[in-house]
Amino acid sequence: MSESNGRYALFLGCTIPYKLPQLEAATRFVMEKLGLEFVDLPFGCCPDPNGIHSYSEDTWYTLATRNLALAEEQGLDIITLCNGCYETLHYVNQKLKNDAKKLARINSLLTKVNQEYKASISVIHLHEFLHEKIGYDKLSQMIVNPLSNFRISVHYGCHALRPQSIGQPENAEAPQWLWDFVENVIQAEPIHYVDETLCCGAGIREMDQSASFDITKHKIVQMETAGANAITVPCPTCFLQYDGSQKLILREESVGTQITGTPTFYFTELLAIAMGADPKAIGISYHLMKPEPGLLKSSESTSVETSPNEIITVTTGSNPNS
Amino acid sequence: MDIQEIKDQLKVCFSCGTCSGSCPIFRVNPEKNPRRFIQAVLNSSSSDISVLENFEPLWLCTTCYACEDRCPQGINITTMLVKLKNIAARHGYVPESVKAELETIIANGTTSPPGKSILMRRKKLNLPDLPQPDLPAIQKLIHLTLND
């Protein structure tokens, strides 16, 4: 990592700002609480680690390096909010740091648009950043609205974890941080299920919708059977699959009967609400899978009646469990 | 990388099927069978790209890398499938949805050009206007990499 002084280039990607801006609103709320400065740069598509990578590795590498160079010019490391952007930028960055010949070849193209990349910056996923750079102890001290009525299944998504060969922060077969986040930061109940690290199916939605939805449904059935009342993801593409696609799956009578429907949240949406954000202000109402009334409670309304004479009110600025 | 170089990487495959057992798509669509792709490539002649003509199912790979991470022979399976798709694409065997994705980037610099309602939503959520990408630079780099 370069010396960032709390400033980072925020790589929003394509999906979050222009399809799911509510995920960006929740993230900016959290970052403001943490006193971090995010810099918006004129990034293009990362590009997609599946489609564009499969079409032309040269195009994929070159456009990714152009984005890396934009952050490097400002002396900033990159934080990504999307597994796909993380995969592309982290993968390309790691390869170029270890392959001077390839870096020189890409730079011979970048020079034609007056850019150069020296491979000096780092790329980090927001969920890794919160665990490694902020720390869950600090985060948990900022919780004013513990999400204790949530029973949450985590879907990590493939591109936050694989391939392991490029240096990933967690073991892809048994990742732990987001589960710890659910239990120890936002204070919900983690609901484990069988195929936790299986793909969500979004990657082939355009080419084989039936196969894509079958995979998603299979995972939701497992989560619901285990008792989950919410799903959380660190990726907007996975979010679209568990939100919009789940809605479509429920509409298809033949398969819809096997799941009852479970609301999905990007992980910073849950963190923002636990930190006191008003769910309306961060755009939870734009979700297609609507949470049941009462599941979401902003800090203003967080008072739990335990007995006629005892009202516990969660107050702002302290963690009742710490 | 050409077909022969890909074959050299794949030749240590002993057909254990860990790749297929790990493939999320194979679970729901038996046409997408990584082990079968590997065997088909190994059985093809190195200069013959006809092996790619019937490779529509190859594009069903989500690049989840589960097969690659788990291969007991250490074959970079997902990476090799990507390289096969690169060769297929150069010969025109590419799904319309992938072509359309690239066209969208060429036209906008992103895959999600902002619509009116989303810009309104951004305003309601008090989100800032975002700097727009340098489209001519992106177009030039795509042109250079696809036509060199």
pLDDT digits 0-9 by tens, B24-55: 999 998 888 999 889 988 888 766 677 677 67
Q: Which run of H or of E encompasses A10?
A: strand A7-11
Q: What was the pLDDT predicted at A258?
A: 85
Q: Which residue has the tokens 């999307």?
A: A82
Q: What was the pLDDT predicted at A46?
A: 97
Q: Look at B111 and A15 and tell me if their CB atoms are within 8 Å.
A: yes
β-pair type (A230-233, A151-154): parallel
Residue among A169, A188, A235 at smallest CA distance from A27: A235
Pick the residue from chain A with its C-alpha nearest to B139: A63
Shortest distance between the Cα of A167 and any Cα of chain B, in A, equals: 12
β-pair type (A310-313, A303-307): antiparallel
Q: What was the pLDDT predicted at A199?
A: 95
The complex scores an ipTM of 0.96
Q: Which run of H or of E encompasses A245?
A: none
Cβ neighbours of A14 in B, within 8 Å:
110-112
Q: Which of residues 87-116 of A touch B (CB under 8 A)?
A: 109-110, 112-113, 115
Q: Is the pLDDT of residue B120 over 80?
A: yes
Q: What mean pLDDT comes out for the span B105-134?
A: 95
* Each residue's pLDDT expressed in tens, for chain A with a length of 322 residues: 444 567 899 999 999 999 999 999 999 999 999 999 899 999 999 999 999 999 999 999 999 999 999 999 999 999 999 999 999 999 999 999 999 999 999 999 999 999 999 999 999 999 999 999 999 999 999 999 999 999 999 999 999 999 999 999 999 999 999 999 999 999 999 999 999 999 999 999 988 999 999 999 999 999 999 999 999 999 999 999 999 999 999 988 665 568 999 999 999 999 999 999 999 999 999 999 999 888 886 444 444 433 333 333 333 333 333 3
Burial of residue A253 (CB within 10 Å: 0-12, 13-18, 19+) is exposed
Residue among B129, B126, B130, B102 at smallest CA distance from A43: B130
Q: What was the pLDDT predicted at A6?
A: 75
Q: Which residue has the tokens 């079409």?
A: A55
Residue among A11, A16, A8 at smallest CA distance from A35: A8
The verdict on pTM exceeding 0.95 is no
Residues 6 or more apart from B100 whose CB is under 8 A from it?
none
B28 in contact with A at a CB cutoff of 8 Å? Answer: yes
Q: What was the pLDDT predicted at A237?
A: 97
Q: What was the pLDDT predicted at A301?
A: 45
Q: What was the pLDDT predicted at A257?
A: 64
Give the mean pLDDT of chain B: 92
Token readout for A40 is 């918006």
Q: Which run of H or of E encompasses A305?
A: strand A303-307
Cβ neighbours of A42 in B, within 8 Å:
131-134
Q: What was the pLDDT predicted at A4?
A: 59
Q: What mean pLDDT comes out for the span B109-130?
A: 95
Residue from the list B60, B76, B127 with its beta carbon closest to the beta carbon of A25:
B127
Cβ neighbours of A25 in B, within 8 Å:
125-127
Buried b / exposed e along B9-18 (16+ C-beta atoms within 10 A): bbeebeeeeb
B47 in contact with A at a CB cutoff of 8 Å? Answer: no
Shortest distance between the Cα of A142 and any Cα of chain B, in A, equals: 23
Q: Cis ω on the peptide bond leading into residue B136 (within 30° of 0)?
A: no
Residue among A36, A20, A32, A10 at smallest CA distance from A275: A32
Q: Look at A115 and B137 and tell me if their CB atoms are within 8 Å.
A: yes
Q: What was the pLDDT predicted at A174?
A: 96
